[in-house]
Amino acid sequence: MEENRRNRKTIVIGHKNPDTDSICSAVCYANLKRLLTKEDYQPGRAGRVNEETQFVLNYFGVEPPELIENVKTQVLDIEIRETRGVKKNLSLKNAWNIMQEANVVTIPAVTDDGMLEGLITVGDIAKSYMNVYDSSILSKANTQYANIVETLEGNMVVGETGDYFNNGKVLIAAANPDMMEYYIAKGDLVILGNRYESQLCAIEMEAACIIVCEGAAVSMTIKKLAQERGCAVMTTPYDTYTAARLVNQSIPISYFMKTDGLITFEVEDHIDDIKDVMASKRHRDFPVLDKNGKYKGMISRRNLLGAKGKRLILVDHNERSQAVEGMESAEVLEIIDHHRLGTVETIAPVFFRNQPVGCTATIIYQMYQENHAEIEPKIAGLLCSAIISDTLLFRSPTCTEADKKAALSLAEIAGIQVEKYASSMFAAGSNLKGKTDGEIFYQDFKKFTFGKVNFGVGQISSLNTKELDELKERMLPYMKKAREEHGVDMMFFMLTNILTESTELLCEGQGAKQLITTAFRAEDAQENGEDHLVSLPGVVSRKKQLIPAIMLAVQE
């Protein structure tokens, strides 16, 4: 169990609508954790990769992290009992033995290529003993002689074990031969003792098979006659009573197993979705299939009690509204961030590192240094790109000396010229041609809650003043739609000009513009006479300039 816990995958993931810092920090921190622990840490992303980030990933030859739309606990996250599948011609006796050895009450029948064919339970086997009085059931079930020989621990003296008993009834030859002639029919299976006359009579009456009990020898004459008449002969060490009691245990499970209406789950099913189904059925166990429909194992309601959520490390955020869907059911192990403290709640204590720097990547760079871990060029390039992006190449008021020092050091390792590389990166990110309003709006979007006020803030940073001006008319109608979809009080969109280090802020929602003019005071905000627009010279940072000002205004 400890080994399984240690080998579980841990996902390192940033916020929804990820920016360059969110993606690059996830990749680089997952890499650091793998170096330090040799365990399975995988980067993830909670949204699409924007153009700026894609440029960075392409430049350094790094694949985008896997898209993870939610981290709700799935069947694959719980302990699946690997009850082995069996063939449908397995005898009831062997099925019972397997159940006892594995301490299970249900076993699955599967094909050679792993597809589920049916289920046999302890209850099904019990019914086969208690509710069956049909002497023809052995032939109706098309029972193979191999099953009968194995169940009776006997030997095949005449005939082939691969043949089937499929026409006739089972009876015990307890009477004398004169009486036997009246109740043995063609194709029957006859259990008898060592009396030569009884054996001869059964063969002459065209029995399909005779079972000689108590280990008695079969004469050469009987063997020869049986071969001539096509009668199978087997011997067993058991007496006739025991043999008769055991013979039904040779019936293949296919005759009693359930094949229709099987309730199965797939490994990717969410626990929340299957709980109600399990609760509404009286079954103890349910088969689990992989995405190709092949049998994987069994789960029961008891397995759900010990379900462990996915293991997460959050980077570049610590607010519930920004986290990947289903985070509340996950096991958060660490949070690495540079934003204000938000609303993420954890079940257990976590490693939490939050520093007032301009970029999460700066903190991760420091952690590489603290652990004396080698930073390879592509990792250095990703970390440097994240810092350049978050600090607008050191222009943002969020930028600290630690950010600038880290970026320059990383640029040297990555082999890039900061100014030239930053221009190309920003140009890629501000290329909005062919994008829908939604793609532009959600390129860098976050939701916030302060007291009873909920609001969302999107941001586009560009070197192209004309392109930003054209966005004003496009974004306002979309913002209204987005505010209604998210159910927030207000929506803001920052059109940030990197060259002039200023922002045109679009405001949507009752009291939104008034809140901004209050937050930045009349002398700092230029209203431009437009109902939904406020100009904010010198404002480029959502985290350090816009959000704190809005929250102070809300508080007032």
Distance, in Å, from the CA atom of 480 to the CA atom of 556, rounded to the nearest integer, reads 26
Neighbours of 375 (CB within 10 A): 21
With cut-offs at 50, 70 and 90, classify the pLDDT of residue 3.
very low
pLDDT at 430: 75
pLDDT-wise least confident of 20-34, 39-53, 349-363, 465-479: 465-479
With cut-offs at 50, 70 and 90, classify the pLDDT of residue 131.
low
pLDDT-wise least confident of 4-18, 80-94, 321-335, 392-406: 4-18
CB 394 within 8 A of CB 404: yes
**256, two tokens:** 């009693």
Q: Is the confidence at residue 525, as pLDDT, over 60?
A: no
Average pLDDT of the chain, as a whole number: 90
With cut-offs at 50, 70 and 90, classify the pLDDT of residue 537.
very high
pLDDT at 1: 38
pLDDT at 544: 85
Distance, in Å, from the CA atom of 308 to the CA atom of 168, rounded to the nearest integer, reads 54
The pLDDT of 201-217, averaged and rounded, is 94
H/E run at residue 506: strand 502-508
473 against 306, higher pLDDT: 473
CB 340 within 8 A of CB 316: no
Residues 6+ apart with CB under 8 A from 217: 194
Distance, in Å, from the CA atom of 136 to the CA atom of 436, rounded to the nearest integer, reads 72
Q: Is the confidence at residue 481, as pLDDT, over 60?
A: yes
pLDDT at 463: 79
Helices (H), 290-376: 301-305, 360-370
Q: What is the pLDDT of residues 65-106, one digit of tens each?
A: 999 999 998 888 888 888 899 999 999 999 999 999 989 999
Q: Is the confidence at residue 246, as pLDDT, over 60?
A: yes
Give the chain's radius of gyration (CA, Å).
37
pLDDT at 79: 84
Parse the chain into domains and list their residue ranges. 2-73+310-429, 92-255, 437-555
pTM attached to this predicted model: 0.69
128 against 335, higher pLDDT: 335
pLDDT at 7: 63
pLDDT at 524: 46
CA 15 from chain center: how many Å? 20
pLDDT-wise least confident of 5-9, 245-249, 283-287, 416-420: 5-9
Q: What is the CATH number of domain 2-73+310-429?
A: 3.90.1640.10
**Range 437-555 classified under CATH 3.40.50.10680:** no
Percent of the chain with pLDDT over 70: 96
Q: What is the CATH number of domain 92-255?
A: 3.40.1390.20
Q: Is the confidence at residue 466, as pLDDT, over 60?
A: yes
Q: Is 450 in a helix, a strand, or coil?
A: strand
The pLDDT of 239-248, averaged and rounded, is 93
Residues 6+ apart with CB under 8 A from 349: none
With cut-offs at 50, 70 and 90, classify the pLDDT of residue 467.
confident
With cut-offs at 50, 70 and 90, classify the pLDDT of residue 308.
confident
The pLDDT of 485-508, averaged and rounded, is 93
Q: Is the confidence at residue 414, as pLDDT, over 90?
A: yes
Classify residue 529 as exposed, middle or buried by CB count within 10 Å of its CB (0-12, 13-18, 19+).
exposed
With cut-offs at 50, 70 and 90, classify the pLDDT of residue 273.
confident
Distances (CA, A) of 198 to 173, 178, 202, 213, 234: 7, 9, 6, 12, 15
For 125-239, strand residue ranges (E) read 143-144, 155-158, 164-165, 170-172, 189-192, 209-212, 232-235
Percent of the chain with pLDDT over 90: 67
H/E run at residue 437: helix 437-441
- Closest by Cα among 268, 308, 302 to 285: 302
pLDDT at 408: 97
Q: Is the confidence at residue 211, as pLDDT, over 90?
A: yes
pLDDT at 489: 95
Distance, in Å, from the CA atom of 457 to the CA atom of 436, rounded to the nearest integer, reads 18
pLDDT-wise least confident of 128-142, 158-172, 454-468, 523-537: 523-537
Distance, in Å, from the CA atom of 126 to the CA atom of 119, rounded to the nearest integer, reads 14
Q: Is the confidence at residue 129, as pLDDT, over 90?
A: no
The pLDDT of 298-317, averaged and rounded, is 86
CA dihedral 70, 73, 79, 80 (to 10 degrees): -70
With cut-offs at 50, 70 and 90, classify the pLDDT of residue 5.
very low
Distance spanning both ends of the chain, measured CA to CA: 54
Distance, in Å, from the CA atom of 320 to the CA atom of 325, rounded to the nearest integer, reads 9
Distance, in Å, from the CA atom of 10 to the CA atom of 311, rounded to the nearest integer, reads 5
537 against 183, higher pLDDT: 537
DSSP label at residue 329: G
Q: Is 370 in a helix, a strand, or coil?
A: helix
Q: Is the confidence at residue 344, as pLDDT, over 80?
A: no
The pLDDT of 285-296, averaged and rounded, is 92
**227, two tokens:** 């071969």
- Closest by Cα among 506, 549, 504 to 531: 506
pLDDT at 523: 45
With cut-offs at 50, 70 and 90, classify the pLDDT of residue 285.
confident
pLDDT at 132: 61
The pLDDT of 293-300, averaged and rounded, is 92
The pLDDT of 353-366, averaged and rounded, is 97
Q: Is 101 in a helix, a strand, or coil?
A: helix
Q: Is the confidence at residue 539, as pLDDT, over 80?
A: yes
